[in-house]
Structure 1
Amino acid sequence: MSEEKNDDLEAVRAEKLRKIEALGVDPWGRRFDDHSAIADVRARAPEAAQPGDEVPGPRVRIAGRIMLRRVQGNVHFLELRDWTGRIQLFVGKKQVGPEAWELAKQLDLSDLLGVDGTLGFTKTGELTVFAESLTFLGKSLLPPPEKWHGLTDIEARSRMRYLDLFSNPESLQTFLGRSKIVSSIRRTLESRGFVEIEGPTMQSIAGGAAARPFVTHHNALGLDLYLRIALELHLKRLLVGGMERVFELGRVYRNEGISRKHNPEFTMMEAYQAYGDYHTMMELTEALIGNAILAVDGNYTRTIHVGPEGEAAPVTVDFTPPWPRKTYNELVLEHAGVDPADPEAVKARAESLGLETAGKDPVVILGELFEEAVEDQLVGPVFVIDYPAPLCPLTKRKAGRPEIAERFELFVLGMELANAYTELNDPILQEQLFRQQLAGLPEEESMAKMDEDFIKALKHAMPPAGGLGIGIDRLCMLLLDRPSIRDVILFPLLRPQSSLGSVGG
């Protein structure tokens, strides 16, 4: 739609606004109590009047946005949509009276309308609300997306989510599905005795992961602060304090790249259980994700499109618990074809895949080989367990095998969904591992500073514990079959743009 045409349509709507005001109607609406969800009205279809019935159908009251409009002489057929569904309206001049009819003539697509009427079927069999009175609830001064086919451009949908939600029903259902998933996770944790806490999002030391943080400044204290990159270290402090089962669902920030699977601001759930271990967390993970799946549609089997824009052939994934457990080492042997205990073989295999190995520690090369050759082969759901200890500085070592860390990651379709440890609670070893890690990090990385207070907390004795982290956005991508993380974040980070052209103004 050209800017000139768009301006003309805006002018027409502005003129209709003046006419609505001239009718003595508030164009911005007032409260409209006791209306029913459209889905609930549609559920009353068995009560609806049939054509020719002498007795009208049940009286109903609904509100929503006008999505379609057809004018046939002294009758308007409208489609009204709320967040539960859509229904047809019959607005007749004879039925609503002259004043409401004058108002009906000023209606536009995207206006908000309240309707009182009766429920019945048309001669073509369409369930319809036959309007008796109209209540104007809000004037749309800008035209909707052209031809009302909805926004199709991904950038535009992410940037103007308000248009995306009401013009693309599948997008609205995605975010309602996300809400069900998050609510289910909370219910499952609370049913198991976990309490939810709120940790600080601004921290003097951004710890708990190796990632580049965002930096901000507190003027009053003259203090540089970091937006948190993980939830972990403050939750563990609470274990020391005697809160034995704690979790947080919160935003985390990492000053890194943007891709189909990454957004700099994302949502994590971390949970810690005193006197548990990573096996405890595996069972908890199955319950959390399994219940979330059932909350969406009651079916453990999901059909998921795995291409970057959902164009690849669908893959069926069965989430029925329990899920397989496979060790890190056996998966490297199976999919990379080398013995992870043979560093020369690992290096040669990595180089054959084009990975840079010069000057790198053998365990780092092994980790990169795993990412390159193994992860994409994991259809899952599968728990990858028992990682090389040097890759996991916050993890307790396996009894009698100090080279192995009691850690798992959950993979589905090559994507990591969950990460869990038997938590390291030895303050002496923890400090030693921190210092080893700090030695090789550039100053701008998050863990380039020692969190001395966390070490002090551990010295007051943290109970043995299992800890779990789940990336909520990635989980929603998979369970709701969306190709990009932007499809499940209401307001993802986007490059600044002064205008998107003519879509919706």
Structure 2
Amino acid sequence: MEKTSDLVGKRRQKIAELKESGVNLFPNDVDVSHTVLEVQARTENAQEPLTEASPVFSVAGRMMAINRFGKSSFIRFRDRTGQMQAYLRKDKIGDEAYALFKKTDMGDFVSLKGGMFQTKTGEWTLLVEEFRLICKSTRPLPEKFHGLKDPEKRYRQRYVDLIMNADVREIFIRRSKIVQAIRNFLSDRDFLEVETPMMQPIPGGAEAEPFVTHHNALDMDLFLRIAPELYLKRLVVGGFDRVFEINRNFRNEGVSARHNPEFTMLEFYQAYATYNDLMALTEKMFKHVAETVTGSSAITYQGDTIEMGGEWQRMTLADSLRDLGGVDPAILGDKEKLLEFGASRGVKITKTGRLGKVITKLFDVLVEPQLIQPTFITGYPVEVSPLSRRSDTQPELTERFELFIAGREIANGFSELNDPEDQRGRFMQQVEDRDAGDKEAHFMDEDYVEALEYGMPPTAGEGIGIDRLAMLLTDSASIREVILFPHMKSK
């Protein structure tokens, strides 16, 4: 088998010869009347058998296979809608065109015009009357039977991955349908889609380490946003009672099967609603999206059948630690005893300064992996929920939930804190945590507190990880499978 470099060299020589002979290898006047799917629909729905005198179709695509037999050849070509076979005869397209065709390679783009007929095996095939080479490829595609399988190369050369692997193309088609289904769902409920700043003078809305950049003209540092939350809630203050945004967040964290430093989030906010309203809305949304893109509310993920329909399980954080994590409820208020318990279970807890951090870390390790069916966890401590409204009955807790499916967090929502003095105090506590070394703690945002002082109505908001939802609905084990160009180390 020839080395890729040798094949590239031969193709470059062929390209040079074709250019010298006056062949335009990259024309821009291609006329396409039908896609492959449209041609196939016409043949399948034909009222009478099609012959060589069939209606003429103009199609174009990339050649994926070539079988030459002297004065005739079969090719398979593909466009965005599918793949089909074409038959070229020297006496049909002419000597000059057939001579050019003989110099083509798999991976080249061609324009074809002709009618449809059925071969002896019954396969509908385009009988080519006109042939044009419309883009000459320099590099050969991976070998047909082995394709492109190495994950490292697939992620780095996603364009080749998409050419060779139909299942990968289907993942990203489905991802697009997921986003569209969400947009339709929210728009139908009178939510307004908006865009908020990607570069922010103060990062907020989540506990995460931000990326920092510098704006030369303004001579100031800016942060790539970790969340759009505080800007979306400013819009609620301004009178937009229902808003949502689907866009990128950036967090300076590790790369793993569940994390990419650049990722897509849906965040939406609804005035005059509570976190209970959003849990009910989320159940309906996920059912709608699952049925829209898969045809069923029941999906299969990594061997588990997960039911997106119906009313989902709800548990408090304390109950889940007791029932699933094996934690004695009597020690939930004792940080030192919880640290001892965690050590006995092999849980590494690095942020030991605050009780809430210890509790949530124990949950992450001991409980989260067990939550396969959709489960809302509620009752989060105030100290780990700096933007959430306090519970009226248990002021040490907040009206917050996190949604877990297939052993991972998918969404986070809560009744919003709209008391400006309480919010200022929460920010001050975050500033203390940051000064103590917690790089993920919130900054003080005086402008946001001032916005709250103008008055924000009772509101609930939620963030949903689009990448993780796409993983679920495409049965993908790694987040890199659902991000077109995941971040990777330099070669």
TM-score by length of 1: 0.91
Is 1:449 paired with 2:443? Answer: yes
Q: Displacement of 1:385 after TM fit?
A: 2.1
- Corresponding residue for residue 353 of structure 1: 345
Does the 8 Å CA contact 1:427/1:455 hold for their aligned counterparts?
Answer: yes
Is 1:203 paired with 2:200? Answer: yes
Distance between the aligned counterparts of 1:325 and 1:284, measured in 2? 14
Q: Displacement of 1:88 after TM fit?
A: 1.1
- Corresponding residue for residue 178 of structure 1: 175
Q: Displacement of 1:188 after TM fit?
A: 1.2
**SS of 2:404's equivalent?**
strand
Kindly tell me: are residues 7 and 336 of structure 1, through their superposed partners in 2, closer, same or farther at Cα, counting changes over 3 Å? closer
Select 2:455's aligned residue among 461, 466, 475: 461
Q: Displacement of 1:294 after TM fit?
A: 2.4
- Corresponding residue for residue 370 of structure 1: 363
Distance between the aligned counterparts of 2:18 and 2:185, measured in 1? 50
Select 2:135's aligned residue among 133, 138, 153: 138
Distance between the aligned counterparts of 2:100 and 2:167, measured in 1? 31
Is 1:479 paired with 2:473? Answer: yes
Deviations 1:193-221 (A, max 9, x none): 11111111111111111111111111122
Is 1:470 paired with 2:459? Answer: no
Kindly tell me: are residues 144 and 377 of structure 1, through their superposed partners in 2, closer, same or farther at Cα, counting changes over 3 Å? same
Does the 8 Å CA contact 1:206/1:447 hold for their aligned counterparts?
Answer: no
Distance between the aligned counterparts of 1:457 and 1:94, measured in 2? 77
Is 1:399 paired with 2:388? Answer: no
Deviations 1:16-43 (A, max 9, x none): 3245446644211223234322122222
- Corresponding residue for residue 311 of structure 2: 322
Does the 8 Å CA contact 1:249/1:270 hold for their aligned counterparts?
Answer: yes
- Corresponding residue for residue 310 of structure 1: none
Q: Displacement of 1:45 after TM fit?
A: 3.5
Does the 8 Å CA contact 1:329/1:340 hold for their aligned counterparts?
Answer: yes
Deviations 1:443-501 (A, max 9, x none): 6725453101111111111111010101111111111111211111111111112xxxx
Distance between the aligned counterparts of 1:473 and 1:16, measured in 2? 43
- Corresponding residue for residue 43 of structure 1: 41
Q: Aligned AA for 1:326?
A: M
Does the 8 Å CA contact 1:188/1:287 hold for their aligned counterparts?
Answer: no
- Bigger shift: 358-367 or 223-232? 358-367
Distance between the aligned counterparts of 2:86 and 2:98, measured in 1? 14
Does the 8 Å CA contact 1:300/1:320 hold for their aligned counterparts?
Answer: yes
- Bigger shift: 338-347 or 248-257? 338-347
Distance between the aligned counterparts of 1:123 and 1:204, measured in 2? 69
Q: Displacement of 1:282 after TM fit?
A: 1.4
Distance between the aligned counterparts of 2:358 and 2:400, measured in 1? 19
Is 1:33 paired with 2:31? Answer: yes
- Corresponding residue for residue 110 of structure 1: 107
Distance between the aligned counterparts of 1:293 and 1:469, measured in 2? 18
Kindly tell me: are residues 21 and 50 of structure 1, through their superposed partners in 2, closer, same or farther at Cα, counting changes over 3 Å? farther
- Bigger shift: 228-237 or 428-437? 428-437
Does the 8 Å CA contact 1:235/1:272 hold for their aligned counterparts?
Answer: yes
Does the 8 Å CA contact 1:347/1:362 hold for their aligned counterparts?
Answer: no
TM-score by length of 2: 0.93
Select 2:413's aligned residue among 414, 420, 444: 420
Does the 8 Å CA contact 1:278/1:420 hold for their aligned counterparts?
Answer: yes
- Corresponding residue for residue 404 of structure 2: 411
**SS of 1:421's equivalent?**
strand
**SS of 1:143's equivalent?**
coil
**SS of 1:237's equivalent?**
helix
Q: Displacement of 1:303 after TM fit?
A: 1.4
Q: Aligned AA for 2:347?
A: L
Select 2:154's aligned residue among 154, 157, 162: 157
**SS of 2:450's equivalent?**
helix
**SS of 1:250's equivalent?**
strand
- Corresponding residue for residue 309 of structure 1: none
Query: Identity over aligned residues, as a percent?
Result: 43
- Corresponding residue for residue 501 of structure 1: none
Q: Displacement of 1:54 after TM fit?
A: 5.9
Does the 8 Å CA contact 1:327/1:386 hold for their aligned counterparts?
Answer: yes
Does the 8 Å CA contact 1:261/1:484 hold for their aligned counterparts?
Answer: yes
Does the 8 Å CA contact 1:212/1:444 hold for their aligned counterparts?
Answer: no
Q: Aligned AA for 1:43?
A: A
Distance between the aligned counterparts of 1:107 and 1:418, measured in 2? 51
5+ long unaligned stretches in structure 1: 306-313, 498-505
- Corresponding residue for residue 101 of structure 1: 98
Distance between the aligned counterparts of 1:34 and 1:115, measured in 2? 9
Does the 8 Å CA contact 2:31/2:58 hold for their aligned counterparts?
Answer: no
Q: Displacement of 1:165 after TM fit?
A: 1.0
- Corresponding residue for residue 287 of structure 1: 284
Q: Displacement of 1:316 after TM fit?
A: 1.2
**SS of 2:255's equivalent?**
coil
Does the 8 Å CA contact 1:340/1:366 hold for their aligned counterparts?
Answer: no
Distance between the aligned counterparts of 1:15 and 1:125, measured in 2? 39
- Bigger shift: 55-64 or 458-467? 55-64
Q: Displacement of 1:333 after TM fit?
A: 1.4
Kindly tell me: are residues 356 and 262 of structure 1, through their superposed partners in 2, closer, same or farther at Cα, counting changes over 3 Å? closer
- Corresponding residue for residue 311 of structure 1: none
Select 2:209's aligned residue among 209, 212, 230: 212
Distance between the aligned counterparts of 1:215 and 1:55, measured in 2? 64
**SS of 1:229's equivalent?**
coil
Q: Displacement of 1:348 after TM fit?
A: 4.1
Does the 8 Å CA contact 2:294/2:473 hold for their aligned counterparts?
Answer: no
Kindly tell me: are residues 315 and 338 of structure 1, through their superposed partners in 2, closer, same or farther at Cα, counting changes over 3 Å? same
Q: Aligned AA for 2:316?
A: T
Distance between the aligned counterparts of 2:52 and 2:43, measured in 1? 15
Select 2:245's aligned residue among 248, 257, 262: 248
Deviations 1:363-420 (A, max 9, x none): 3221111111100000111222222332211111222221221111111111111110
Q: Displacement of 1:66 after TM fit?
A: 0.5
5+ long unaligned stretches in structure 2: none
Kindly tell me: are residues 299 and 23 of structure 1, through their superposed partners in 2, closer, same or farther at Cα, counting changes over 3 Å? farther
Distance between the aligned counterparts of 1:167 and 1:384, measured in 2? 42
**SS of 1:210's equivalent?**
coil
**RCO higher in structure (CA 8 A, sep ≥6):** 1
Kindly tell me: are residues 294 and 19 of structure 1, through their superposed partners in 2, closer, same or farther at Cα, counting changes over 3 Å? farther
Q: Aligned AA for 1:494?
A: M
Distance between the aligned counterparts of 2:12 and 2:42, measured in 1? 38
Kindly tell me: are residues 80 and 7 of structure 1, through their superposed partners in 2, closer, same or farther at Cα, counting changes over 3 Å? same
**SS of 2:73's equivalent?**
strand
